[in-house]
């Protein structure tokens, strides 16, 4: 019997300084076009962010809202069903995004603003529970150490998931995200993938953001523009072990990897079987 395929969350950056696209979707029209194409390619979640994750120019809450709200509103007007996620760590930005049509909060900085999860609960929208090892937003890891990285990820993300549920976030709309590269080095990232079964076994849907990350680049010694193959290999590994969703730049390729992996496992049927059947 076929099982639901892992979901694809498409990245839409309304930033001029993204590490990957270098501002390709900073213009509102370009961001909306990117979202539209991603939906056509198979994404069921559109993740819209207005602040670069790493160090860079200061973006205050008002500027962040100016960046994300027009895109959220436009995507929602064009598609009433797609899940729209806002990538923010600020409660006031999240509330404004929900008012504009967002239905998921992607808290990539692990509850840095303790009111953020409260906003999700009060509005009964989805929430992504991340792990950063206590890192300050927009800082890079430096000589980070854990006694057991996977145990630490599970402890922090599941505690946040339980708090989210207690505040009113629908349990089926809660994800836990080990958050590769945030407060972690390459060895931590590989360990999380190696032991991904332990995250899946928590029972909370697991979201992974692997796309073109530094841990991929360091593993295969490739620059930012040459990490797609490494990303897709990691995606296939995680999808085969039950990861529920992937945050990605390459939507179409990721959809194919997920479907192929599921078909090999017998969990999805091929889409067009005509060879040698006539």
Among 276, 227, 233, 273, which residue's Cα sits nearest to residue 257? 233
Q: Please confirm, yes or no, whether 76 is among the known catalytic residues.
A: no
Check 247, 252, 259, 275 and give the catalytic one. 247
Among 24, 20, 97, 99, which residue's Cα sits nearest to residue 66? 97
- Order across the sheet with 245-248: list the strands: 174-177, 126-130, 104-107, 83-87, 45-49, 7-13, 245-248, 207-208
Cα separation, 241 vs 220, in Å, equals 22
Cα separation, 245 vs 33, in Å, equals 22
CB atoms within 10 A of CB 147: 6
Residue partners of 88: CB distance under 8 A and separation at least 6: 49, 50, 51, 64, 68, 94, 97, 105, 106, 107, 116
133 Cα distance to chain centroid: 18
- What's the alpha-carbon Rg for the chain, to the nearest Å? 18
CB atoms within 10 A of CB 209: 25
Q: Please confirm, yes or no, whether 213 is among the known catalytic residues.
A: yes
| Residue 223 in tokens | 């620059």
Check 7, 34, 90, 213 and give the catalytic one. 213
H/E segment holding residue 173 = none
Annotated catalytic residues are 213, 247
């Amino acid at each position: 019997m076929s099982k639901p395929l892992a979901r694809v969350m498409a990245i839409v950056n309304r930033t001029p300084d993204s590490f990957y696209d270098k501002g390709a979707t900073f213009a509102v029209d370009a961001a909306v076009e990117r979202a539209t194409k991603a939906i056509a390619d198979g994404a069921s979640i559109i993740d819209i962010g207005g602040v670069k994750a790493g160090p860079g120019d200061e973006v205050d809450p008002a500027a962040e809202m100016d960046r994300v709200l027009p895109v959220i509103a436009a995507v929602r007007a064009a598609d009433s069903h797609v899940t729209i996620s806002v990538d923010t760590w600020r409660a006031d930005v999240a509330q404004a995004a929900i008012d504009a049509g967002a239905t998921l909060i992607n808290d990539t900085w692990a509850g840095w603003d303790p009111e953020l999860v409260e906003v999700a609960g009060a509005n009964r929208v989805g929430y992504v529970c991340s792990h950063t090892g206590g890192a300050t937003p927009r800082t890079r890891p430096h000589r980070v150490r854990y006694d057991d990285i996977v145990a630490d990820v599970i402890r922090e993300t599941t505690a946040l998931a339980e708090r989210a549920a207690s505040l009113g976030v629908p349990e089926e709309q809660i994800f836990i995200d080990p958050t590769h590269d945030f407060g972690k080095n390459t060895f931590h990232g590989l360990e999380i993938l190696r032991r991904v079964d332990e995250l899946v076994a928590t029972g909370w849907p697991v979201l992974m953001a692997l796309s073109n990350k530094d841990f991929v680049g360091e593993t295969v010694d490739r620059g930012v523009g040459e990490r797609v193959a490494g990303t897709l290999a990691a995606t296939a590994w995680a999808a085969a072990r039950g990861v529920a969703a992937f945050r990605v730049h390459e939507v179409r390729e990721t959809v194919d990897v997920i479907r192929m992996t599921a078909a090999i496992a017998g969990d999805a049927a091929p889409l067009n079987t005509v060879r040698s059947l006539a």
